[in-house]
Structure 1
Amino acid sequence: MAEIQDNGGGKKGKGSKQKKMTVRVDFTPMVDMNMLLITFFMLCTSLSKPQTMEISMPTNDENITEDQQNKVKASQALTLLLDANNKLYYYEGEPNYEDYTSLKETDYTADGIRKVLLRKNYDAVKKVEELKVKKANLEITEEEYKKQVSEVKSAKNTPTVIIKATDKSTYKNLIDALDEMQICSIGKYVIVDITDGDQFLIDNYNSKGQLSSNAVS
């Protein structure tokens, strides 16, 4: 609140100096207002939640063999092989060392591996989209949404993706592959070491089947 102080006396005769007025502004109410605004924003603003990426890692149990780690139903399994120069290969089910065309080459674009994953996980993706609509319409809560999405992703008929990277691939390749897992609602995926057999598939594909399958130990 502003306060005006008159430093002059009573009326003076003609020719007297103009009286001086001092203006003092009281900022005390502004402090109260700032405190109210801070309290308002603290109560009405939601804190940002950390964005995390769920990763299913293989067990560290040394008694579990590699075959047991990778053992899934062939019709639901999809293996991604990440190689140098941003190259990406995949095969469905069990590897076929006799036919080099069983290994397919793709990329990290929407028309590449994403299209393959969406095809494999079509039913789950459709159900997740329906749940998103229900949550947006406030038909289900956030907790119910997360629970139902988790159940959809882990259903028995959903695919299992096995991600294997060569020493020549980059961290960006791995992150891009993991991003596709989230985009395509893949709930079951693991990251494991690449095997000699997988490396043979890549080499045999690039040589158009010129290598002998006997080289696979």
Structure 2
Amino acid sequence: MAEIQDNGGKKKGSKQKKMNIRVDFTPMVDMNMLLITFFMLCTSLSKPQTMEISMPSNDKNITEEQQNKVKASQALTLLLADNGKLYYYEGEPDYKDYTSLKEITYGADGLRKLLLRKNYDAITKVRELKQKKANLELNEEEYKKQVAEVKSGKDTPTVIIKATDKSTYKNLIDALDEMQICSIGKYVIVDITEGDQFLIDNFSSRGELSQQIVNKNV
């Protein structure tokens, strides 16, 4: 509130009164404290996000060679390159044959279509669980538990994401978004190897050579 204080009457020879103006900010402080208290009580704290992982089997009858074979058959490696390019290969890498590398896009007709095909069974089960939750057949805790078990099943794919130095954070975020959309429960981000970089470089060189041949024929 603003207050005006009068120092008294006119002085002799003075044509104007002198007034002291004081602004009281006490109500503003009270209002700010009320707002802070309101937001503290109404705002929910951010919850930490965790990623489900599948533990190795305790079955001693399974040999190491069989385990590696299963892991290789379920592995899908994504290579994030420059200029928004995305490459992938399935199973173990064949660094001697750069034609094993395939190019794909980040769109729905590219990476998402590939992941949906690889993780079809798990996606179908997750949709069934969502429907059960909507029908109140499952509560929130049971739903999350069963979804985590489905995503981390032994028949689900494992996606390995490797980004080059020239890729962008947007490329990485786009790839991670597809993991959530396609219900991929097992994925990891690791450093790219020299062999992977060799595949990318030779793939790009092959594309440039093919374009030069086409231009020459034209």
TM-score range, shorter chain: 0.5 to 0.7
Q: Distance in 2 between matches of 1:82 and 1:51?
A: 29
Matches within 5 A, 1:1-217: 50=46, 54=50, 73-208=71-206
Q: Secondary structure at the match of 1:75?
A: helix
Q: How far apart are residue 96 of structure 1 and its match? A: 1.4
One-letter amino acid of the structure 1 residue matched with residue 189 of structure 2: I
What do the CA deviations read for 1:79-125 (whole angstroms, capped 9, x no partner)? 00001111100000011123222111011100000111111111000
Q: Distance in 1 between matches of 2:94 and 2:206?
A: 14
Instruction: Check the 8 A contact 2:52/2:152 in 1, yes or no.
Output: no
Q: Distance in 2 between matches of 1:92 and 1:176?
A: 20
What do the CA deviations read for 1:55-90 (whole angstroms, capped 9, x no partner)? 579xxxxxxxxxxxxx77111000000011111000
Instruction: Check the 8 A contact 1:78/1:161 in 2, yes or no.
Output: yes
Q: Distance in 2 between matches of 1:176 and 1:103?
A: 20
The structure number with the bigger radius of gyration is 1
Report the RMSD for the aligned CA atoms in angstroms: 2.4
Q: Secondary structure at the match of 1:111?
A: helix
Q: Distance in 2 between matches of 1:161 and 1:182?
A: 12
Q: Distance in 1 between matches of 2:127 and 2:47?
A: 20
Q: TM-score, normalised by structure 1?
A: 0.65
Q: Distance in 2 between matches of 1:137 and 1:152?
A: 20
Q: How far apart are residue 48 of structure 1 and its match? A: 5.9
Instruction: Check the 8 A contact 2:80/2:172 in 1, yes or no.
Output: yes
What do the CA deviations read for 1:173-215 (whole angstroms, capped 9, x no partner)? 11111000000000000000001000001011112299xxxxx
**CA 1:94/1:176 → structure 2, altered by over 3 Å: closer, same or farther?**
same
**CA 1:186/1:140 → structure 2, altered by over 3 Å: closer, same or farther?**
same
Count of residues in correspondence between the two structures? 153
Q: Distance in 1 between matches of 2:105 and 2:45?
A: 32
Q: Which has the higher helix share?
A: 2
Q: Distance in 2 between matches of 1:76 and 1:99?
A: 20
Structure 2 equivalent of residue 24 of structure 1: none
Instruction: Check the 8 A contact 1:100/1:209 in 2, yes or no.
Output: no
Structure 2 equivalent of residue 9 of structure 1: none
Structure 2: stretches of 5+ with no match in the other structure: 1-40, 54-67, 209-218
One-letter amino acid of the structure 1 residue matched with residue 110 of structure 2: G
**CA 1:99/1:209 → structure 2, altered by over 3 Å: closer, same or farther?**
farther
Structure 1: stretches of 5+ with no match in the other structure: 1-41, 58-70, 211-217
